[in-house]
Structure 1
């Protein structure tokens, strides 16, 4: 999906994946190998340019799905993968809510929350980010060691959240995915201003919701699933009509 000058998403291509009927969610029915095969076929299908170069991607934006990220890196080894900050903040917020429950609501809980978030996301040097993280660990360890029950609870809550946050910081490449440093590197790779770097994939999420809810839903009666050979976009028609190309009405699994 491209983003135009008005910050609107413009769909360029779409991959349609139909999960098995018994799958509880679409994302639970694919794995890295399947995604890698799909992306590999797409790359080959894109062909080469006049200089004989294969289709490459400089920067990608994903949520925190390790299967998707691994598959992308297997096909495009040099790709810089950024994380959707909407999903990152959502994950951090949920974790904070969980770990701060032991602190009474009010100023004490808010004090710990403000200390933990934002956790060095604006620092653009990895070593400085690690040092800031270690500073917070030392602070909350000292807080937990106090005899005061409230301070001890605040220290334990902070350490619990920092333990979770460690997975976002322990590897530099993953830190780049959500820090401002990663966005700056993406801007340098693409030769665009930092403000033009998308920090969320919500444009795409919105499109996915529309295509599933508005276009597919009315035709999915009786348990039918959308399938690649069922929908064809007739780009030569001004009405952009969709028509059926297969007499089969459903599928159990596959792409």
Structure 2
């Protein structure tokens, strides 16, 4: 595994502002002048077969985070999900998370939610939308669709609490230059559906021809390490196994790796800690 330098870099407010402006403008130019065919059409009629269904709880009790931010997050997720629900990713097309949602602002009804920045949480309009990008990324790993752009979280902010997925199996998002883009290199369209219930954010991929393969995503080489500047870091590799219709394993492939600076100390008695 690559030995990453995770020591945080200090940047001035002017540097952060100018950097954000530069990357946003570059992304807008890319959208207008690039040769990518983006998915934009919807079909409200559900496709016949479900490839993968997944759901995550809308409310979680997080240390030092006011619950009103969680309720505002639900309102934000509802607005964003409406932009994506029923989108069709045809063969050769690319799904862009931010191109479909657009800029989350007050005028569109978005509220202040929790935003993670440099290992700390703060409030910002549209906060909480990473839950939706996390859901879509996780589901996509269980399909033959190709992930062409995804960003990992640079910080591990909260300790594991009832975690059901491997560490680092989400996709962080920052409008509009940290995007989640997914290309359909198959020969059939995929319908992406996302919606909210009273307690969960739900999603699924549907197709009209049953898939002949299934997928299992897992992690390996998961460990903690104490960095020379005093903080702990967390690392792992995400892989997936591919099975044929009879359940025989036909492929075991690398997906990505994660390296994050921890904002809390792991249990020191854990044998996986390296010092």
Q: What range is the shorter-chain TM-score in?
A: under 0.3
TM-score after normalising by structure 1: 0.24
Q: Which has the higher helix share?
A: 1
> Which structure dedicates a bigger proportion of its chain to strand?
2
Larger radius of gyration: 1
